[in-house]
Structure 1
Amino acid sequence: MNIDFKTLAEKYQTPYYVYDFDHITKQYEELKSSFRARKSLIAYAVKANSNLSVIKHLADLGAGADCVSIGEVKRALKVGIPSYKIIFSGVGKSDDEITQALELDILMINVESAAELNRVEDIAKNLGKIARISIRVNPNIDPKTHPYISTGLHENKFGVDIDTAKRMYIQCKNSEFLEPTGIHCHIGSQLTQLQPIKDAVKIVAELVKNLKAIKIDLSFMDVGGGLGIIYDNEKLIDTYEYSQSILDAMFGLDVTVVCEPGRFIVGNSGVFVTKVLYEKVNGNKRFVIVDGAMNDLIRPALYNAYHKIEVLNDNKNLSDCNLVGPVCESGDFFAKNIQLPQTNHNDLVAIYSAGAYGFTMASNYNTRGRVAEIAVLNGQDRLIRRRETFEDLIALEEEFIK
């Protein structure tokens, strides 16, 4: 990544997120080309990074969108992703969200329970519309990832088992307001082993064949996302092997394969850059205090996630420390017991692999404005979201002061 963090800090101040759009292009095209022999749709998982400019860049490359709220659906539509490339997923869709999704005529609603299917059918009937349906199957496969981002086991809240899915598809076939269009599975995020993916796709492909035998012909098979990236020293799944294992499992099925990459596309495009405020020592413990905080990048506090961290100075004198922020929580840290050089006031610190689930999970805790977001494309930087001001934070409250 050839980005001048210091120049960007002088231009936009800190903290900030910067995204390498050339890297995003490379990742999208690598995955898309791996399926070039088959009908495919790469539906970017908007939740990973929902900045409009990021989605627009992917829209221009031909991507669709996997959305988990009606707000994400509207983001995708706003930047030009066609409605026929948008999938609406998620375990808890409200009646209003289902209504809007049907009115916006998106590709399909990904249903995650029998109760939800009943709600979709009732709402479609009231609107006089036909709802195109995909059902999320939970194949009970261990994804070998962090338990917080595992989604394919029965203990997780996502999807339905095979028998329930069959009954739901039969309900769709017999309903004049439901159209069985696709099938979906997604076993987890940050996947670094291919075998669980193979196993899950085989289970779902077998169900598709069984459904075809009872004259339920599906057009789309959504194999989810979850391809991992390098945070530390992970051994990654080769994209060609990934696509071929999926296509092998789908042999004999005339369906469009759908993938929902998020982290794989944007994760390593992003860097969170913050600056040193102070150093302090409590007893024998050294703390490096920066102006970024858990409200800006919560993954370390939430998952104890690892991010590569680099202090941008020439000091080679390393010692153990905790890298922490200003938020009033003991959980406000980016790393504990990490070896970093001695720092000075205003030294920059780069936190890598922050393009996914970084800004998108940010908050205004402690009345802290969310930071600026910057894109770099072909060596040129541009602001894609300005830093929030105090006035932005109180805009929805101040008119109600009595």
Structure 2
Amino acid sequence: MSWFEYRNQVLCAESVSLAHIAKEVGTPLYCYSTAALKANYEEFVDAFRDRDVLIAYSVKANANQAVIATLSACGAGADVVSGGELQRALAVGVPGSRIVFSGVGKTSEEMSAGVAAQVHQFNLESKTQLESLSEIASKQKVEARVAFRVNPDVDAMTHEKIATGRRTDKFGVPIGEARSLYELARSLPGIEVVGVDLHIGSQLTDLEPFKKAFSRLAELVNALREDGHDIRHIDLGGGLGVRYRDEQPPTVSSYAELVDETLGSLGCQLILEPGRALVADAGILLSRVIETKQSSERVFVIIDAAMNDFLRPALYDAWHPIDPVSEPQPDANRDIVDVVGQVCESGDV
């Protein structure tokens, strides 16, 4: 279902005219649908209804505090990767018990804030992070709950810049080296080993990479339990794709079935970190045309939004539909144009 559709020839967000919003607020602006956010969250709740699961919204997908607050009110937690994201989640009422602290570059100050907030779990990426967290938690006289993010060496078959589970990527601990780090963690003060974690990439449109990664994770959990570790959390990260144009991503229910098939027998709490899947279709960027400019080669439609407002096309060559607020008539003339912003770069397209 689309929460942005034409009503009486005017594009609306739910039942509110975008022309009215533009007049009242000005442009450019982002407009979000509360109904869409709630519906997307409930799709995950329904798919995992009979499981012990924490759905931790990946704040990096959209850090707007109204978005975080809306999902939190539905019951979502938060997956954060920085001190700033942690502050934003706490500020709108997400309790520390529903926050997972991930990230490849956590500073001591950020980890200290996470310990103070009593986050549900730290997803650690290195021996250095482990030793730093041990020192911080010991000084605060608490135990920090930890998992290691493992790199399963799985190609997510997604855009090069958002694939994160190959051995050449900067993320996680090589899965073959994980057991030795868990042994070290067990020996350190201020550390409680509780789980395992992975995240292989974003915008996956095929379940096969997930299956490979989850199967390797299950093998690791069994090995760690044989080593005497009490592994009770499995964090699967995010990555489930959405449709922008002609993609056919898996449904949330089919993803849940795969999780059951590969990990269901382990009896662990599942931590999911959906981001794009919760927010991608829940918002629009509303902009005005400043002028139309014609050269000998092209027609440029210059708008008041730019790459500083919406970076994906410049960064990823991403495709997004552009719709006029006033519904065009069936016999309206159509031209091929370049829609561009005001930034002084040719990539602002």
TM-score class normalised by the smaller sequence: over 0.9
Q: Distance in 1 between matches of 2:136 and 2:151?
A: 25
AA aligned opposite 1:75: R
Pair 1:332-2:345 in alignment = no
2:305 matched to which residue of 1? 292
- Equivalent residues of 2:56, 2:274 under 8 A apart: yes
1:122 matched to which residue of 2? 135
Which of these residues, 220, 225, 236, is aligned with residue 212 of structure 1?
Answer: 225
- Deviation string 1:224-246 (CA, Å, 9 cap, x unpaired) is 11111111111010111100111
1:32 matched to which residue of 2? 45
Q: Distance in 2 between matches of 1:252 and 1:298?
A: 42
Ranges in structure 2 where 5+ consecutive residues have no aligned partner: 6-11
1:72 matched to which residue of 2? 85
Q: Distance in 2 between matches of 1:77 and 1:122?
A: 24
Shift of 1:129: 2.4
Shift of 1:95: 0.9
Q: Distance in 2 between matches of 1:163 and 1:129?
A: 30
2:274 matched to which residue of 1? 261
- Deviation string 1:138-175 (CA, Å, 9 cap, x unpaired) is 11111111011111111111101112211111111222
- Equivalent residues of 2:101, 2:121 under 8 A apart: yes
- Equivalent residues of 2:32, 2:283 under 8 A apart: yes
Name the stretch that deviates more: 82-91 or 166-175. Answer: 166-175
Shift of 1:123: 2.2
Name the stretch that deviates more: 127-136 or 12-21. Answer: 127-136
Which of these residues, 173, 190, 194, is aligned with residue 160 of structure 1?
Answer: 173
AA aligned opposite 1:190: Q
SS of residue paired to 2:106: coil
Which of these residues, 57, 61, 70, is aligned with residue 48 of structure 1?
Answer: 61
2:214 matched to which residue of 1? 201
AA aligned opposite 2:146: I
SS of residue paired to 2:189: coil
Pair 1:174-2:174 in alignment = no
SS of residue paired to 1:122: helix
Shift of 1:221: 0.3
Q: Distance in 2 between matches of 1:113 and 1:142?
A: 21
Ranges in structure 1 where 5+ consecutive residues have no aligned partner: 334-402
Shift of 1:29: 0.5
- Deviation string 1:244-279 (CA, Å, 9 cap, x unpaired) is 111111132121011100110011111101111111
Superposed CA RMSD: 1.2
Pair 1:278-2:291 in alignment = yes
SS of residue paired to 2:176: helix
Shift of 1:105: 1.1
Pair 1:323-2:336 in alignment = no
1:382 matched to which residue of 2? none
AA aligned opposite 2:134: E
- Deviation string 1:168-193 (CA, Å, 9 cap, x unpaired) is 11111222321111211111111110
Shift of 1:122: 2.3
SS of residue paired to 2:241: coil
Q: Distance in 1 between matches of 2:298 and 2:72?
A: 48
Pair 1:138-2:151 in alignment = yes
1:10 matched to which residue of 2? 23
- Equivalent residues of 2:134, 2:189 under 8 A apart: no
Shift of 1:22: 0.3
AA aligned opposite 1:151: T
SS of residue paired to 1:301: helix
Pair 1:62-2:75 in alignment = yes
SS of residue paired to 1:158: coil
SS of residue paired to 2:151: coil
1:368 matched to which residue of 2? none
State the aligned residue count. Answer: 333
- Deviation string 1:318-362 (CA, Å, 9 cap, x unpaired) is 2222110111111111xxxxxxxxxxxxxxxxxxxxxxxxxxxxx
SS of residue paired to 2:19: helix
Pair 1:302-2:315 in alignment = yes
Q: Distance in 2 between matches of 1:271 and 1:252?
A: 41
Q: Distance in 1 between matches of 2:83 and 2:63?
A: 13
SS of residue paired to 1:215: coil
Q: Distance in 2 between matches of 1:83 and 1:310?
A: 40
Which of these residues, 93, 108, 115, is aligned with residue 106 of structure 2?
Answer: 93
1:21 matched to which residue of 2? 34
AA aligned opposite 1:324: V
AA aligned opposite 1:195: E
AA aligned opposite 2:231: L
Pair 1:190-2:190 in alignment = no
Q: Distance in 1 between matches of 2:53 and 2:304?
A: 43
- Identity level (%): 40
Q: Distance in 2 between matches of 1:144 and 1:30?
A: 24
Q: Distance in 2 between matches of 1:78 and 1:60?
A: 13
